[in-house]
Amino acid sequence: MATMVESGNILGFKCVRCGKETPDAKGYVCPSCKSNLDVVYDYKAIKARLTRKSLDDNPDKSVWRYKDILPIARYKGVPIVHIGGTPLYKAERLGADLGLSNLYLKDDGRNPSASFKDRAGAVAVAKALELGERVITGASTGNAASSMACLTAGLGLKTIIFLPEKAPVAKIAQLLVFGAIVIAVKGTYDEAFDLCLKATDEYGWYNRNTGHNPFTREGKKTCSFELVEQLGWQVPDKVFVSVGDGNIISGLWKGFKDFHALGLIDRLPQMIGVQAEKSDAIKRAFESDGVIRPVSGDTIADSISVSLPRDGDAAVKALQESKGFAVSVTDEEILAAMRDTARRESVFGEPAGVTSVAGLRKAAAQGKVKRDEKVVALITGNGLKDVASAMKAVGKPHLIAPEKEELKRLVKEHKIA
Ligand SMILES: Cc1ncc(COP(=O)(O)O)c(C=O)c1O
Ligand SMILES: [Zn+2]
């Protein structure tokens, strides 16, 4: 594997689990315990450059407006499509349904490949280019892969994807359209992940796997920076996040901690992780001894269908440190959240994209969220990513012959007008 050249912003890396410090990420993971590495920044130096004023004056609305607190030293040929800068909506109608007066939805399905993963992909691809890598590989439930394929298109990086053969067809279509080499694995995401690691060992490709490559979390944290800025430098009380591997929630937590360490905010939110009922390894660990143990991973929300979460340690830590909590929801509750979010707020999320909303509904009904709290639910992926699941949330269209009489019968029968 190529030697990693680290950015001037970075002091080094620290293991999420055992705390061992290491100067580089050549082996991706902790040399002692093999858990994930966290990037350690030189906050003192960054503080001099990154201020509320410097951000207010910065016209760039993409993730690159946060270059000062990203782990890239040399930007050469980074993806040019617009990543980040996604809308934050005040969700008045959904909020009223849930008994909340300060609810916001952050729609990250509005990214170039239609999921939150573009934030991670941005930084991982920029790092691969900085290192002069020629081939980038990754295993994915679908979105991380379609993002990588989208962001590397035209950049001269060969992209090799491993994903479960049962991934939604729209995500596979994205991969092929963007020109990635797609290896569909007859097995689960977890099996695709392990095979991808073996491929990296065998061929020396640059590996972007979630919860393995330490830089994906760094891209994901840009969402927290945007949230704080979009809220006029206010910090939400609670942030609801759909959780699979645990990289998004730990990335968001890192973002809030970064801004806090830089003195840009003076308090931190509670992080609330929402998992599908049978894919809840992080919830189980958080509510017991903190140790991640595999579960079945079975859920309609394919993007968070994970047996053994790869960034579980960091996710449990985010819940613990932020004094947050975890919620699990059924597939039916996820499908209901898909309808609610679309019909009340015009945001169409894929099942994993709206799992956060399903968890929020449950937590609010249990009295775990106060009426006036400033709450953000993150929508992590667009509903068009998985139309087959969306159809399970809704009925079928009315089918008639192109005849006026048939139309009149239908209108009467269904009281349409
Ligand atoms: C749409 C969507 N939501 C949520 C997640 C969960 O993120 P993580 O696996 O980092 O917990 C993913 C991950 O693939 C995703 O694609
Ligand atoms: Zn370690």
The Å distance, Cα 373 to ligand 1 centre, comes to: 25
Atom of ligand 1 nearest to the CA of 242: 4
- Tokens read off for 7: 């950015």
- Tokens read off for 85: 């800068």
For residue 45, is it within any domain?
no
The Å distance, Cα 255 to ligand 2 centre, comes to: 22
Averaged pLDDT for residues 287-296: 97
Give the Cβ contact number of residue 346 at 10 Å.
Answer: 11
* Distance between CA atoms of residues 326 and 324, nearest Å: 7
Sheet of 135-139: strand order equals 181-185, 158-164, 135-139, 206-207
Averaged pLDDT for residues 307-333: 97
Hey, whose CA ends up nearest to atom 10 of ligand 1?
A: 247
Q: Is 333 helix (H, G, I), strand (E, B) or coil?
A: helix
Q: Is 174 helix (H, G, I), strand (E, B) or coil?
A: helix
* Distance between CA atoms of residues 202 and 221, nearest Å: 31
Please name the residues in contact with 306: beta carbons below 8 A apart, sequence gap of 6 or more. Answer: 141, 189, 190, 244, 245, 279, 281, 297
Phi and psi at residue 135, to the nearest 5°: -130, 130
Q: What is the CATH number of the domain that holds 253?
A: 3.40.50.1100
Burial class of residue 404 (count of CB atoms within 10 Å of its CB; 0-12, 13-18, 19+): exposed
The whole-number pLDDT of residue 75 equals 84
Q: What percent of the chain has pLDDT over 70?
A: 98
For residue 299, is it within any domain?
yes
With a cut of 80, say whether residue 29 has pLDDT above it: yes
The whole-number pLDDT of residue 356 equals 98
Atom of ligand 1 nearest to the CA of 143: 16
* Distance between CA atoms of residues 138 and 372, nearest Å: 42
Looking at all shown ligands, the one closest to residue 242's CA atom is 1
Atom of ligand 1 nearest to the CA of 250: 10
- Of the pLDDT bands very low, low, confident and very high (cuts 50, 70, 90), residue 2 is very low
Provide the residue range defining the domain that includes 224. 88-113+216-392
Phi and psi at residue 325, to the nearest 5°: -155, 175
- The chain-wide mean pLDDT, for the chain, equals 95
Q: What percent of the chain has pLDDT over 90?
A: 95
The whole-number pLDDT of residue 113 equals 97
For residue 342, is it within any domain?
yes
* Distance between CA atoms of residues 392 and 379, nearest Å: 19
With a cut of 80, say whether residue 10 has pLDDT above it: yes
* Distance between CA atoms of residues 334 and 350, nearest Å: 9
**Residue 249 belongs to what H/E stretch?**
helix 247-261
* Distance between CA atoms of residues 314 and 306, nearest Å: 16
Top mutation candidate among 36, 143, 386 for ligand 1, by most atoms within 8 Å of CB: 143
- Tokens read off for 40: 């350690």
Phi-psi category of 333—alpha, beta or left, where left has phi over 0 and alpha has psi -120 to 50? alpha
Give the tens place of pLDDT for each residue, 203-216.
999 999 999 999 99
The whole-number pLDDT of residue 80 equals 82
Q: Is 137 helix (H, G, I), strand (E, B) or coil?
A: strand
Give the tens place of pLDDT for each residue, 61-104.
999 999 999 999 988 778 889 999 999 999 999 999 999 999 99
Sequence-ordered strand ranges (E) for 94-141? 103-107, 135-139
Averaged pLDDT for residues 49-54: 97
From 208, 2, 5, 231, select the one nearest 118 (Cα to Cα). Answer: 208
User: Residue with structure tokens 């993409």?
Assistant: 62
* Overall domain count for the chain: 1
Give the tens place of pLDDT for each residue, 230-279.
999 999 999 999 999 999 999 999 999 999 999 999 999 999 999 999 99
DSSP 8-state code for residue 304: G
Handedness of CA 328, 332, 333, 335 (dihedral sign): positive
- Tokens read off for 188: 């689960």
- Tokens read off for 39: 């990037």
Phi and psi at residue 45, to the nearest 5°: -70, -40
For residue 250, is it within any domain?
yes
For residue 290, is it within any domain?
yes
From 207, 61, 75, select the one nearest 148 (Cα to Cα). Answer: 207
With a cut of 50, say whether residue 5 has pLDDT above it: no
With a cut of 90, say whether residue 281 has pLDDT above it: yes
With a cut of 80, say whether residue 3 has pLDDT above it: no
The whole-number pLDDT of residue 7 equals 67
With a cut of 60, say whether residue 4 has pLDDT above it: no
Give the tens place of pLDDT for each residue, 376-405.
999 999 999 999 999 999 999 999 999 999
Q: Is 271 helix (H, G, I), strand (E, B) or coil?
A: strand
For residue 210, is it within any domain?
no
Write the DSSP string, 67-105. GGGSS-S---S---S--S---EEE-HHHHHHHT-SSEEE
Atom of ligand 1 nearest to the CA of 248: 10
With a cut of 90, say whether residue 6 has pLDDT above it: no
For residue 262, is it within any domain?
yes
Burial class of residue 187 (count of CB atoms within 10 Å of its CB; 0-12, 13-18, 19+): middle
Looking at all shown ligands, the one closest to residue 193's CA atom is 1
For residue 201, is it within any domain?
no
The Å distance, Cα 134 to ligand 1 centre, comes to: 26
